[in-house]
Amino acid sequence: MKIKHLEVWPVTMPLAEPYCIAYEKVASTTNVFLRITLDNGLNGCGCAAPDAAVTGETPDSVIKVSEEVIEPVLRGENPLRLARLAENLKMILPNNPSAMAMVDMALNDILGKAARLPVYMLLGGYRTRIMTSITIGVMPVADTVAKAMEYAGKGFRSLKLKGGVDVETDIERVLEVRKAVGKRIDLRFDANQGFSETDALYFAVKVWPARLALIEQPTDRNDFKLLARISGQIPTPVMADESLMNLRDAFRLARGDLVDMVNIKLMKVGGITEALHINSVARAAKLEVMVGCMDEAALAIAAGLHFALARPNVAYADLDGHLDLIEDPSAGAVRLKNGYLYPGSKPGLGFDFP
């Protein structure tokens, strides 16, 4: 069994409803898809969701390294030697996490298909489904409440509000949403680095009655000391997202007890294989873990889901990046029912391109 050919292609997908976060407005996304073909006819599928502001990549850069670096390294290799191949690529591509994630998920897909098992079963098979939050972007208070009620009416039991633009409005949005949806809905807040220390502390005090489950990345990703000060002063759990880009970041956050929780995104860290290492560090430090996503096609969401289903301490999921995408070529790679995500029933990641 050897790798015969790699094919990569970009797909731009509009969002049914554009959204805003603290530093940008998003109306569409471009993912890069990968198909690895073996000499025995078996295929493995992967997907990259590059983001210049987060991963430092673009679709063009992912395609370039795929054609010029990844294919020459992988061609003729045994795809089941996943750890070896991942290490070889990581040394060559230290700053291409979404491209690495794309390859890693395709190799895991091949492994599952060769074993005739879903990837999450190969990795541990702790659970068969997980509840996901759904995100509400930065919008006026009344619109936020209306959207929250809409999602709650569709069966979602966990809502994540984006903010970080204006602290007073953020406070009002959180309190009004809690009033509207009641106590049984899990409510999360993500500032996307938009707060100062003063804003973060003030916000946490004012929204305490809303009983947020977590406050995600309130301040600048590079200021670990500031993140630690905020985490140490407020009762609501603080989660690192943009501050966690690799295994070294995970060790730094865990060793210093800087946060309460971490958000592991495959596109940031380089795929399932690396996510498992980071998760082990988090578990050793007794940090709660959430699996998150970018604006990702259903195939990439499936990879994050299989990772989450495999490990007991991945207690939270924010895997909604595919729900608003139009013309996703991998639609159906995961199933959503009453706010829970389920994997496909086929081996591997549960998806094949026509």
Q: Among residues 186, 190, 199, 242, which one is catalytic? A: 190
Q: Quote the tokens at residue 243.
A: 């501050």
Active site residue 295: no
Active site residue 170: no
What's the CA gap between 218 and 197, in Å, rounded?
8
Q: Quote the tokens at residue 189.
A: 């807040």
Active site residue 25: no
The 3-state secondary structure of the chain reads CCEEEEEEEEEEEEEEEEEECCCCEEEEEEEEEEEEEECCCCEEEEEECCCCCCCCCCHHHHHHHHHHHHHHHHCCCCCCCHHHHHHHHHHHCCCCHHHHHHHHHHHHHHHHHHHCCEHHHHHCCCCCCEEECEEECCCCHHHHHHHHHHHHHCCCCEEEEECCCCHHHHHHHHHHHHHHHCCCCEEEEECCCCCCHHHHHHHHHHCHHHCCCEEECCCCCCCHHHHHHHHHHCCCCEEECCCCCCHHHHHHHHHCCCCCEEEEEHHHHCCHHHHHHHHHHHHHCCCEEEEECCCCCHHHHHHHHHHHHHCCCEEEECCCCCCCECCCCCCCCEEEECCEEEECCCCECCCCCC
Q: Among residues 51, 57, 199, 241, which one is catalytic? A: 241
Q: Among residues 216, 249, 295, 320, which one is catalytic? A: 216
Q: Residue 283's CB: how many other CB atoms inside 10 A?
A: 16
Q: Among residues 113, 147, 265, 268, which one is catalytic? A: 265
Residue 205 Cα to chain centre, angstroms: 28
Active site residue 216: yes
pLDDT at 18: 85
pLDDT in tens, the chain (354 residues): 999 999 999 999 999 988 878 667 788 999 999 999 999 999 999 999 999 999 999 999 999 999 999 999 999 999 999 999 999 999 999 999 999 999 999 999 999 999 999 999 999 999 999 999 999 999 999 999 999 999 999 999 999 999 999 999 999 999 999 999 999 999 999 999 999 999 999 999 999 999 999 999 999 999 999 999 999 999 999 999 999 999 999 999 999 999 999 999 999 999 999 999 999 999 999 999 999 999 999 999 999 999 999 999 999 999 999 999 999 999 999 999 999 999 998 999 999 998
pLDDT at 121: 97
pLDDT at 26: 86
Q: Among residues 162, 170, 249, 295, which one is catalytic? A: 162
Residue-range domains of the chain with CATH: 3-116 (3.30.390.10), 121-343 (3.20.20.120)
In the chain, the largest separation of any two C-alpha atoms, in whole Å, equals: 61
Pairing of strands 340-343, 130-131: antiparallel
Q: Quote the tokens at residue 294.
A: 């970018």
pLDDT at 238: 98
Active site residue 241: yes
